[in-house]
């Protein structure tokens, strides 16, 4: 009998195979729409969310399904994430990349109990690489345990996703950030950004917008691998919270070093 980790992993792989990969680089004009200014959604997003939601509900009929695209239509669905059992779905993280015919993009799910993220899954449909984390049990890539190391290493590079910065904040900080040699372009996909930190491809990432389906999956994966994720002021990040600015780093030491390096230019 398959474990819950295996069952959800199968669900994500099936959704990628049926709803996402067949449309990659084959989208028609009618497959893409703007759900809000500057934000795209595709037929693949909707199809994948429906497939995943239906199958997760079969695994636990008492749970609540909260999908990103359903919340775009009805924001009230995202309320009370800190109550009961919730399946949180981001059917296609990195939609902009997907529409442009390039990676990375990711299929992500988080399981919440009473607001606590207890398990997460992030699948890269292109490579087939599956990132899984269980609260208190560590992080894995394709079933192999991974640990974010490098405690003694100096801060080398990281990314800042500035897309959702308010215009007045962006105007104030961007000229100064351009002078920080540590900054590299973001991957435009949180489902790839967090694994890149664990892999050591970058030491940190800063995000302005902190929607739960974008960040709870990666936050648990990075934390279980030994990294650190917190608000800009050091407070914890979790379900059911409003707020802005998240700093994720490969280790707690890297978190403190990144915060120190960026504090003067990113005082918010």
The CATH number for 100's domain is: 3.30.540.10
50's enclosing H/E stretch is helix 43-59
Query: What pLDDT is attached to residue 175?
Result: 80
151: in domain: no
Q: Are residues 128 and 201 in the same domain?
A: no
Q: What CATH number should be reported for the domain holding residue 183?
A: 3.40.190.80
Q: Are residues 125 and 252 in the same domain?
A: no
103: in domain: yes
Residue 1 pLDDT exceeds 60: no
Q: Are residues 23 and 138 in the same domain?
A: yes
152: in domain: no
Domain range for 31 is 4-146
* Contact between 215 and 111 (Cβ < 8 Å): no
DSSP assigned state of 164: T
Q: Are residues 139 and 38 in the same domain?
A: yes
Per the structure, how many domains does the chain have?
2
Among 97, 115, 146, the domain-final residue is 146
pTM listed for this prediction: 0.95
Q: Are residues 113 and 19 in the same domain?
A: yes
Instruction: Give the residues across from 89 on adjacent strands.
Output: 67, 109
* Contact between 180 and 265 (Cβ < 8 Å): yes
* Contact between 196 and 202 (Cβ < 8 Å): yes
* Contact between 121 and 217 (Cβ < 8 Å): yes
138: in domain: yes
Q: What average pLDDT does the structure give for the chain?
A: 93
The mean pLDDT value for 253-261 works out to 91
Q: Are residues 22 and 133 in the same domain?
A: yes
36: in domain: yes
CA angle 259, 261, 267 (to 5 degrees): 65
Residue-wise pLDDT tens digits, 24-82: 999 999 999 999 888 999 999 999 999 999 999 999 999 999 999 999 999 999 988 99
């Amino acid at each position: 009998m398959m474990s819950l980790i295996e069952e959800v992993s199968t669900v994500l792989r099936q959704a990628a195979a049926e709803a996402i990969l067949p449309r990659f680089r084959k989208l028609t004009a009618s497959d893409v729409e703007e759900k809000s200014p500057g934000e795209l959604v595709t037929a693949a997003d909707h199809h994948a969310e429906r497939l995943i939601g239906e199958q997760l509900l079969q695994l636990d009929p008492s749970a609540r399904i909260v999908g990103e695209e359903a919340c775009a239509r009805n924001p009230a669905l995202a309320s009370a994430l800190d109550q009961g059992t919730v399946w949180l779905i981001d059917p296609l993280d990195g939609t902009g990349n997907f529409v442009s015919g390039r990676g990375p993009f990711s299929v992500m799910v988080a399981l919440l109990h009473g607001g606590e993220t207890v398990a997460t899954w992030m699948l890269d449909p292109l490579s087939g690489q599956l990132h899984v984390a269980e609260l208190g049990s560590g992080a894995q890539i394709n079933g192999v345990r991974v640990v974010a190391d490098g405690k003694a290493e100096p801060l080398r590079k990281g990314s800042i996703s500035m897309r959702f910065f308010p215009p007045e904040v962006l105007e104030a900080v961007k000229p100064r950030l351009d002078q920080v040699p540590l900054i590299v372009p973001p991957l435009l996909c949180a489902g790839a950004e967090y694994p890149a930190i664990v892999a050591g491809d970058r030491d940190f990432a800063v995000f302005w917008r902190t929607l739960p389906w974008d960040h709870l999956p990666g936050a648990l994966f990075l934390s279980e691998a030994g990294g650190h994720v917190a608000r800009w002021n050091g407070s914890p990040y979790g379900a059911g919270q409003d707020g802005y600015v998240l700093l994720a780093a490969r280790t707690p030491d890297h978190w403190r070093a990144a915060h120190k390096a960026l504090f003067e230019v990113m005082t918010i």
